Amino acid sequence: MEHLYSNRVRQLKASEIREILKLTQQPDIISFAGGLPAPELFPIEEMKVVTQKVLSEMGQEALQYSTTEGYNPLRSKIAQRLVNVGIKANKDDILITSGSQQGLDFTGKIFLNPEDIVLCESPSYLGAINAFKAYECGFKEIETDKDGMVLAHLEEVIKNTPNVKFIYVIPDFQNPSGRTWSEARRKGLVKIANQYNLVIIEDNPYGELRFEGEMIGSIKSFDTEGRVVYLGTFSKTFSPGLRIGWVLASPEVLNKYIMVKQSADLQTSSISQRELNQFIDMYDFDAHVAKIKKVYKIRRDLMMNTIKAEFPAQAEFEIPTGGLFAWVKLPVNIDTRKVLVKAVENKVAFVPGGSFFPNGGQENFMRLNFSNMPEDKIVEGIKRLGEILKEVM
Ligand code: PMP
């Protein structure tokens, strides 16, 4: 049947680690693998009240088709909340999507022809790499340091690469590195995009989950020519199960996303949008985010302190100042895919870093999620990983 598949599907490769990671769903595994929020923080009791209210007050509307752009009261609330990342917007600038993952897929569909090149941070988010890959593009990885993309490298690559359409970045508490861009780099990126007539895709699921330090304005907030597309989501500040994200873009670009959304799935779930909107009306959303941040900060501290105490001294890491992930670099001769096999035998899991480099070749990293596991399991899991690393190093 192989010849029946499209070129775009034929070139996709199944992930080698997917089978191993399936094992992480066993109940006795300590998993630092997924990017999962802490489930005990989901406001379940409040959502029971909210769901009742939505169904009794607007049941027909909630179960009916609705507009592609999204539920207006929710679009307005999103626009208002964007001041938290320095953006002034109104509801018409926003399209509600089924998670920001859908925004990534649409980005590929809108901008990429086969053979086009996506510029991204090295490393970058695996889900975005896979979404873009389906549009038969290639990738050029741009060097990063603790302040973000190294802009001199970016510019050199742009000058030497035809068919570049956009630069994809996660400037806040990046998945997987946990790093956050400085303001100077953000402004510098906008300047380069203006100069070379490129689009910037700013993917920001973690920006509101800052544990310390001052908020740095989003790249979109420094956009002078309407060339930044901003992707947001409620997955990490509220619940990934509702599947609510959004795209913020200039009217011309947003129109393309709306057209593509229409042909993809007509609209985002009517009931999910109304439930979330009702939650924000009835409860204190900021207090909810503050509660999440408090728990994640404790878990981040615990994970980093335990790594420091239990991992071999050659393991290198930075302390992420927000988000969900820690990123550990091991000596180059250590293949973390092999480490994962041993780890899963010992009932602990993480994601080997290799998958986050679209052009491959860097197997000595591990991504560790600190938001999902309770405190005692964080300590126990990191201790087990430490034992394994001492053995293999
Ligand atoms: N972008 C990044 C950087 C992510 O880490 C994730 C979730 N892991 C997403 C997008 C997709 O999130 P969602 O579709 O749930 O909004």
* Distances in whole angstroms, Cα of residue 335 to Cα of each of 30, 225, 341, 353, 364: 21, 44, 11, 9, 5
In 3-state terms, what secondary structure has residue 125? coil
Helix (H) or strand (E) holding 229: strand 228-233
Do 61 and 145 belong together in one domain? yes
| Start-to-end CA span in the chain (Å) | 45
Q: What is the pTM of this model?
A: 0.97
Do 205 and 295 belong together in one domain? no
User: Which ranges of the chain would DSSP assign to H, the alpha helix?
Assistant: 7-10, 18-22, 44-62, 72-81, 99-111, 126-133, 151-160, 183-196, 251-265, 270-282, 285-310, 336-345, 375-392
Beta bridge partners of 168: 120, 201
Do 61 and 138 belong together in one domain? yes
Pocket test residue of 78, 96, 121, 125 for ligand 1, highest count of atoms within 8 A of CB: 125
Beta bridge partners of 230: 202, 248
Which burial class, exposed, middle or buried, applies to 246 when counting CB atoms under 10 A from its CB (0-12, 13-18, 19+)?
Answer: buried
Do 234 and 249 belong together in one domain? yes
HSE, side-chain direction, 13 A CA sphere, residue 160? 8
Instruction: Report the pLDDT value the prediction gives residue 1, as an integer from 0 to 100.
Output: 87
Pocket test residue of 42, 95, 101, 239 for ligand 1, highest count of atoms within 8 A of CB: 101
Do 55 and 109 belong together in one domain? yes
The residue behind tokens 């009794």 is 56
Residues of the chain with pLDDT under 70: 16
Which amino acid, one-letter code, is at 149? Answer: M
CA of 337 to the centre of ligand 1 (A): 23
Q: List, for residues 164-218, the tens digit of each pLDDT value.
A: 999 999 999 999 999 999 999 999 999 999 999 999 999 999 999 999 999 999 9
* DSSP string computed for 234-303: STTTT-GGG--EEEE--HHHHHHHHHHHHHHHSSS-HHHHHHHHHHHHHS-HHHHHHHHHHHHHHHHHHH
- The residue range of the domain holding 330 is 2-43+287-392
- Give ligand 1 pocket residues (Cβ under 6 A): 35, 99-101, 125, 127, 170, 175, 203, 205, 233, 235, 240, 245
Do 28 and 58 belong together in one domain? no
Do 247 and 320 belong together in one domain? no
Mark which of 282, 313, 334 sits at the end of a domain: 282
What total of structural domains would you count in the chain? 2
Q: List, for residues 306-333, the tens digit of each pLDDT value.
A: 999 999 999 999 999 999 999 999 999 9
Mark which of 238, 261, 282 sits at the end of a domain: 282
Instruction: Report the pLDDT value the prediction gives residue 299, as an integer from 0 to 100.
Output: 98
CATH number for 312: 3.90.1150.10
Do 36 and 50 belong together in one domain? no
CA of 313 to the centre of ligand 1 (A): 32
CA of 205 to the centre of ligand 1 (A): 6
Instruction: Report the pLDDT value the prediction gives residue 16, as an integer from 0 to 100.
Output: 65
Distance CA 202, CA 166 (A): 10
CATH number for 110: 3.40.640.10
Torsion of CA 168, 159, 155, 247, to 10 degrees: -20
Do 324 and 229 belong together in one domain? no
Do 329 and 188 belong together in one domain? no
Do 294 and 304 belong together in one domain? yes
240 CA closest ligand 1 atom index: 15
Mark which of 221, 249, 282 sits at the end of a domain: 282
CA of 333 to the centre of ligand 1 (A): 31
Do 218 and 311 belong together in one domain? no
